[in-house]
Structure 1
Amino acid sequence: MSMTDKQALIDDLFALGIEPTGTLLVHSSMKAIGDVEGRADTVLDALSDVMQDGLLLLPTHSWADDNLTSGVFDPDKEPSCVGVLTNLFRQRTGVVRSLHPTHSVAALGRNAAEFIEGEETCTTPCPRDGVWGRLYDVDAQILLLGCDLTSNTFIHGVEEWHPVKNRIARKSQVIRIKKGHQIIESELHRHQSPNRSIHKNYDKLEQPFLKTGVGHWGMVAQAPSFIASAKGMADLTESFLKRNPDIFLDRTPIPSQWYEKRI
């Protein structure tokens, strides 16, 4: 099997329906993409070229057990726990990283610094007035590049905004954040859920999103990839949470009558 080159990646991304002047957030699996000439850097080059007139975002989360071992979030040094592409991207020239201590994003392009500002004041992982809420405001596209919907952090945000009980810890954690030459303190209430892995049930949204046209699947190199409207995902998911706030606590499918009438 021949290796994928940069132009082939660009062609696949455009064929998927990316809006090059919009806002795109990418969750990614380099392994799923397969063999690429130039490897991960070429994938980032392709994404950056496609979005050169828009805004490109990658999550650079640091919520894992081996993150924040010093108790300080330093955006220049703290590794991302969500993949090789995110770690390379955050270190690229021109890329800026938000100051959220556990759910930061790295941004490149139009109004990047403005889009991510103020995250050091967040008291929860994905507040409505933070970066994840701004994705809704601009109706960003969210691309799951070689990932399924269990990787969709945005849905955590929708559960926060609804709000669903028992998704945010009552007890806060003090995390220090390096902001320029200053060290500031943040009191953060982390995610929690009764089953500790609620995101594993977010793939229940696949059929509703497909049936209502909120998102669709395509291929980028060897990676099955899902792309969807942030606003469409949030609005439909919120309609489900109004019917059953605990819809994601088990594997029971979302009743088709809850969304088929929307088609």
Structure 2
Amino acid sequence: MHTKVSLINDLKKLDINSKGTLLVHSSFKSIGEVEGGPDTVLDSLSTYMKEGLLVLPTHTWEYIDKDNPVFDVLQSPSNVGMLTERFRKRESVYRSEHPTHSVAALGKDAKEFTEGEYKHDTPCARGSVWGKLLDRSAQILLIGVDLTKNTFIHGVEEWVNTPGRIKDTHVDLYSVLYSGEKVRVPSRRHAGSSSSDHYWKVEEILLEEGAMRKGAFGDAIVRLLDAEKTALLLSELLVKNPDLFTRNEPLSDKWRYYFQNQRK
């Protein structure tokens, strides 16, 4: 059975920067049997990152839409897993006020990190928390989930203006802020079928180029990404091949050869 101590030791083995910024996407079930359950998992992450900033997604895109347009930062549940829902309710955690792609943060600069998100009209704007992860040289920890669950890649697609990823028209959504004020948030949503279903195809090249490495957390296989290296590599791929995540097929070897030649 895994404990808080053993899980913290797993984080140490991953050599995560405990004073930096860590975004965590997670599957609680993948971790295995944990003494104390989900709260122990959150305790281990929070303790390890006590001198840094711990960030978990608390998205609501699954049910906040034109037919149900009001997001409440205090009340709207996260639709991306048990750990995220428990985390947002914890003491000293600040949640961002974006209607569909909020995050919850604990630790250094958490309030400043999450402020003003309702001002962005797209899910992962460069000036949003997703862009701040890049600015802060964050690490991204995927616990028991693969790259298809990595929202940061949506951000990279958005920042390089990948065609067809964001709708041209706005839908009126609303955010109820911590202050109780209800503000209108005209929002351009993700368009068409989800490109994230195809993010798996860049796993090997991220590993080869040193943007990602694998390890363990409890029973879970984890992927640890460097936000800067990931953004740089994927931006280059997407600029040269905007259809990169359009097709559900393996990445061509020509891209591996391209990056190998770039290093020479």
- Scaled to the shorter chain, the TM-score interval is over 0.9
Runs (5+) with no aligned partner, structure 1: none
Whether 1:211 and 2:208 are equivalent positions in the alignment is yes
User: What TM-score results when the alignment is normalised by the length of structure 1?
Assistant: 0.95
In 1, are the aligned partners of 2:65 and 2:173 still within 8 Å (CA)?
A: no
Alignment pair present for 1:22 and 2:20: yes
Give how far 1:171 is off.
Answer: 2.0
Preserved contact between residue 29 and residue 83 of structure 1 (Cα < 8 Å): yes
SS at match of 1:87: helix
Q: Quote the residue 1:183 is aligned against.
A: 182
Q: Distance in 2 between matches of 1:197 and 1:182?
A: 32
Q: Distance in 2 between matches of 1:44 and 1:64?
A: 24
- CA distance, structure 1, for counterparts of residue 82 and residue 66 of structure 2: 18
Q: Which residue type is aligned with residue 216 of structure 1?
A: R
Identity %: 45
Q: Deviation string for 1:77-112 (max 9, x for gaps)?
A: 101010000000000000010001000000000000
Task: Kindly indicate whether the alpha-carbon contact (under 8 Å) linking 2:10 and 2:216 is maintained by their aligned counterparts in 1.
Answer: yes
Alignment partners' CA distance in 2, 1:192 and 1:35: 38
Aligned to 1:167: 165
Alpha-carbon deviation of 1:18?
0.8
Moved >2 Å (runs of 4+): 65-71, 258-263
Count of residue pairs brought into register by the alignment: 259
SS of residue in 2 equivalent to 1:13? helix
The match for 1:133 among 131, 138, 146 is 131
**Cα distance in 2, alignment partners of residues 70 and 204 from structure 1:** 34
2:80 pairs, out of 74, 82, 92, with 82
Aligned equivalents of 2:55 and 2:223: distance in 1? 16
What do residues 187-212 of structure 1 show as CA deviations (whole Å, max 9, x unaligned)?
Answer: 0001114xx02101111111111101
Q: Supply the RMSD in Å over aligned alpha carbons.
A: 1.4
In the other structure, the counterpart of 2:217 is: 220
Aligned pairs (5 A) from 1:146-161: 146-161=144-159
> 2: CA distance between counterparts of 1:163 and 1:124?
12
Aligned pair partner of 2:199 in 198, 202, 209 = 202
> Which deviations, in whole Å up to 9, do the C-alpha atoms of 1:33-90 show, x marking residues without a partner?
1110001000000000000000000000000037786521101110101000000000
Alpha-carbon separation, structure 2, partners of 1:117 and 1:76: 14
1:69/1:54 CA distance change after superposition, 3 Å = farther
**TM-score (norm. length: structure 2):** 0.95
Corresponding residue number in structure 2 for 1:244 = 241
Question: Residue deviations 1:163-188, cap 9 Å, x none?
Answer: 11110012211111112121110000
Task: Give the letter aligned to residue 208 of structure 1.
Answer: I
Amino acid corresponding to residue 186 of structure 2 in structure 1: E
Unaligned regions of 5+ residues in structure 2, if any?
A: none
Over 3 Å counting, the alpha-carbon distance change for 1:17 and 1:127 in structure 2 is: same
Match of 1:253, SS state, is: coil
Assess if the C-alpha contact under 8 Å between 1:62 and 1:101 holds in 2.
yes
Checking the alignment, whether the CA contact within 8 Å between 1:89 and 1:106 is kept in structure 2 is: yes
| Contact residue 240 and residue 258 of structure 1 kept, 8 A | no
Letter in 1 for 2:217: V
Deviates most, 226-235 or 168-177: 168-177
Q: For residues 203 and 188 of structure 1, do their structure 2 counterparts lie closer, same or farther at Cα, with a shift above 3 Å needed?
A: same
1:259 corresponds to 2:256: no
Q: Residues of 1 paired with 2:63 and 2:180: CA distance?
A: 26
